[in-house]
Amino acid sequence: MSTHAPHDPSSGTLSYEQAGVNYDLIDPLKISAQRAAAATAVHMSAHGFTEVKASRGESAYVVDVGPFYIASIVECLGTKTLVADEMATLTGKSYYDGIAQDTIAMAVNDLITVGATPLVVQAYWAAGGSDWFGDAQRAQALVAGWKKACDVCQVAWGGGETPALAGIVEGGRIDLAASCTGLINPKERLSVGDKLGAGDAIVLLASSGIHANGLSLARKLTERLPQGYLTEVQPGLTYGDALLAPTTLYSPVTEALYKAGITPHYCANITGHGWRKLLRHPGQFIYRIHTVPPVTPVLKFMQQHAQQDDREAYSTLNMGAGFAIFVKADQAAKVVEIAKACGIDAWDAGRVEAGEKQLLIEPLDIRFGDDDLQLR
């Protein structure tokens, strides 16, 4: 992340932190929570089980229950609903079918990184008041979109919570999250980093747009746009509509890979922190990218209007790549083929090498070092 200097909203570089998220305040809590959480692992032995310790730094938590591993997660959508609400006012359309897919994607795309098959999703829909649910068109769009995303991922929608939280959630707003439980079965599918090695290929899967990360920045940017959300990104496509493209669901790809006999050595869901998520693995490796996917139009538009250089943009946004699969180099072409068969564009984009931890995006002459991503 770049400068914290005060800025004029109408010009100059707009960074993620200027858009309102201050990780310096959240991180101390995160660290103390992670320590306390790690200390609870001992309880698994009372049940005859053990945790997979390496999963502590990964996107989903994994427990060894004998015949297979269980992975679980809870994920928040974030603030994408604020864009949907504003666009609904401007266009009269309801965007909550796509918003539902976004929410499930946040959980499912993280869960699959450890090699899990998502099995059950629970819905967490916390509204600012009972009246949120009184808008039948919007509520039904949320239900229909949730169901459809479950169908795409072949997960069971187990149930959930629909609390009305006046005084906690803002009036007219909804806080959306999803929890997901999955199995790693057979156990060989476990992917928590031990398999990654020099020579592996980095396959990047296309994103559909901004997905659900970077929305604070996206919203802030409307202050600079002549017609706000209705400014056109390209002829016939408004900025708001482009932002609201639902997040790609990647579990059909990871399941298809399994059926084809391919077990990824590692996976990274490219969400917050943009391409720096390619540095997620704890090992000492160089990630050398030789092919950069085309940048999704809405992200190119954002980069231009936020006046970000490539380094800033790739450090924050997915820039066209929503998910990374690390596999044996001789499987890369097959992974690309399988992803495309699932309707998701893909590129054999780079290689893993031994060496000091860093990401080299060669076509753009960008380097991110270990210091650029502190997640653990």
- Geometric angle at alpha carbon 187, from 185 and 191, rounded to 5°: 100
**Piece of the chain touching a copy of itself by CB under 8 A; list 54-62, 198-206, 274-282, 304-312:** 54-62
Decide if residue 368 touches a copy of itself (CB under 8 A). no
Decide if residue 375 touches a copy of itself (CB under 8 A). no
Task: Enumerate residues 170-199 that contact a copy of itself by CB under 8 A.
Answer: 170, 173-175, 177, 179, 181, 183
Which of 4, 53, 134, 370 binds a copy of itself (CB under 8 A)? It is 134
**How many residues touch a copy of itself (CB under 8 A)?**
87
Q: How far is the CB of 281 from a copy of itself (least distance, A)?
A: 17
By beta-carbon proximity to a copy of itself, the closer residue of 138 and 351 is 138
Alpha-carbon distance 253 to 367, whole Å? 29
Task: Enumerate residues 309-348 that contact a copy of itself by CB under 8 A.
Answer: none
By beta-carbon proximity to a copy of itself, the closer residue of 24 and 330 is 24
Q: How far is the CB of 231 from a copy of itself (least distance, A)?
A: 20
Task: Enumerate residues 73-92 that contact a copy of itself by CB under 8 A.
Answer: 73-76, 78-79, 81-82
Alpha-carbon distance 91 to 219, whole Å? 17
Q: How far is the CB of 126 from a copy of itself (least distance, A)?
A: 6
Decide if residue 364 touches a copy of itself (CB under 8 A). no
Which of 4, 7, 144, 355 binds a copy of itself (CB under 8 A)? It is 144
Q: How far is the CB of 69 from a copy of itself (least distance, A)?
A: 12
Which of 111, 123, 202, 292 binds a copy of itself (CB under 8 A)? It is 123
**Piece of the chain touching a copy of itself by CB under 8 A; list 4-12, 57-65, 297-305, 342-350:** 57-65
Omega of the bond leading into 186 within 30 degrees of 0 (cis): yes
Q: How far is the CB of 161 from a copy of itself (least distance, A)?
A: 5
Q: How far is the CB of 51 from a copy of itself (least distance, A)?
A: 6
Decide if residue 56 touches a copy of itself (CB under 8 A). yes
By beta-carbon proximity to a copy of itself, the closer residue of 8 and 24 is 24
Binding characters for a copy of itself, 7-46, by CB under 8 A (x = yes): -------------xxxxxxx-xxx-xxx-xx-xxx-xx-x
